[in-house]
Amino acid sequence: MAIRAKINSNNSSGPQRVSVTVPSATATQSFKSLSDVDTTGLQDGALIQYDADSEKFTTRNELKTTAGALLRFSGGNF
């Protein structure tokens, strides 16, 4: 991100101090609160998969493939 500024001074010595504040991103409290994440039916050991139909990331224990086959993954015990 480029920041551009034009500084005009009405006195002969010029500006004494110049500062620029860049707005920061808003901190998100949890992954589930993101608007492009669907955690409906979230279960222990779930994985994240992008769903082009809904344009969201979804959490699943069974992953859909383009061929329609289901792959089952175990997230293990931690």
Q: For residue 14, is it within any domain?
A: no
Instruction: Dig out the tokens for 15 from the structure.
Output: 């500006």
Mean pLDDT (whole number) for 60-70: 73
As a whole number, the mean pLDDT across the chain is 76
Q: In this predicted structure, what is the pLDDT of residue 73?
A: 66
Give the C-alpha separation, 77 to 20, whole Å.
48
Q: In this predicted structure, what is the pLDDT of residue 1?
A: 57
Instruction: Dig out the tokens for 53 from the structure.
Output: 């139909």
Q: Please give the DSSP secondary-structure letter assigned to residue 13.
A: T
Domain count, the chain: 1
Q: For residue 37, is it within any domain?
A: yes
Per-residue model confidence as pLDDT tens digits over 13-33: 766 677 777 766 666 678 888
Q: For residue 55, is it within any domain?
A: yes
Question: Domain limits at 40?
Answer: 31-65
Give the C-alpha separation, 17 to 7, whole Å.
11
pLDDT band at 41 (very low <50, low <70, confident <90, very high): confident
